[in-house]
Amino acid sequence: MNDFALPETRYALSGDVNIAYQVMGEGPVDIILIPGVVSHVDFMHEISGYTAFLRRLSNFARVVAFDKRGQGLSDRISGAPSLEQRMDDVRAIMDEIGSRRAILLGFSEGCPMSALFTATYPDRVPHLILFGGFARAADRIAPDAWEANVSHLVKNWGTGVMVKAAIGNQVPTPDTVAQFAKFERLSASPGALKTVILLNRQIDVTSILPSVQVPTLVERSSGLESRYRSCGRCRPEIRRTRIA
């Protein structure tokens, strides 16, 4: 792959649902990015720093990004996927690309599923990396504030409402707002977003955390771009991992 080529989007069949994914690099280490609340594997390359982040990892690993079922380029579904269904989708991708073991790199909502996957399939995850995640969603925000936040997000979805959370303390330009507005519209509809958020509020993986026995790196970060930059600090730990 040359410096300007973007990865092709392919599909893995999970049950009767097609899961869109992309692969960069050739290994020997496999890294699977577990997305946050919304994603779009094609359009994410428009976000500053994203492609450079993947390319850096792909210098020493085979890197996989995907869209959850119901979002982005994956098949739309009725309702929202459970954590168990999301785990099935990760296993389907791993089986499709012939990956026996893979480091999971979870972002935000993807962190509890990554932890649950690691506890459930310890032989398939040698290392775990978590960015900006949580174990119990109800601990993140009080009920009244949460309801107001959901209402605000759904009402303004598709206008760039995510941009503040995505870029941290930076002041967004009109072009950045427009970019994130398009990303929101491509990734999920307002109704689909609300369904996912309502389901995510019930997430609680605290009971399985003691079962996670692999080396784990936990990072807090504000904004997508800073997440990609700070993940460079994961590189030594990742490179020491060898897939038998």
pTM of the model: 0.88
Give domain status of residue 191, yes or no: no
Question: Does residue 165 belong to any structural domain of this protein?
Answer: no
> Among residues 27, 101, 17, which one has the least CA distance to residue 67?
17
In a domain, 189, yes or no: no
Q: How many domains does the chain have?
A: 1
Q: How far is CA 163 from CA 110, 170, 180, 189, 212, in A?
A: 19, 10, 6, 17, 33
The encoded tokens of residue 86 equal 């999301």
DSSP string covering 229-242, please?
A: HHGGGGHHHHHT--
CB 113 within 8 A of CB 41: no
- Alpha carbons 205 and 112: distance in angstroms, whole number: 6
User: For residue 110, what pLDDT band results from cuts at 50, 70 and 90?
Assistant: very high
**CATH value at residue 15:** 3.40.50.1820
Letter string b/e over residues 174-204, b meaning 16 or more CB atoms within 10 A of that residue's CB? eebbebbbebbbbbbbeebbbbbbebbbebe
Nearest of 84, 87, 98 to residue 23 by alpha carbon? 98
What's the CA gap between 17 and 32, in Å, rounded?
A: 19
For 181-215, write each residue's pLDDT tens digit: 999 999 999 999 999 999 999 999 999 999 999 99
Q: Does residue 88 fall inside a structural domain?
A: yes
Most confident of 12-21, 76-85, 163-172: 12-21
Tokens at 191, concatenated: 């109704």
The DSSP secondary-structure symbol of 46 reads: G
Residue 178 inside a domain? The answer is no
The domain containing residue 69 runs over which residues?
Answer: 9-138+203-239
Query: Is 154 domain-assigned?
Result: no
Q: For residues 10-14, give the mean pLDDT.
A: 98
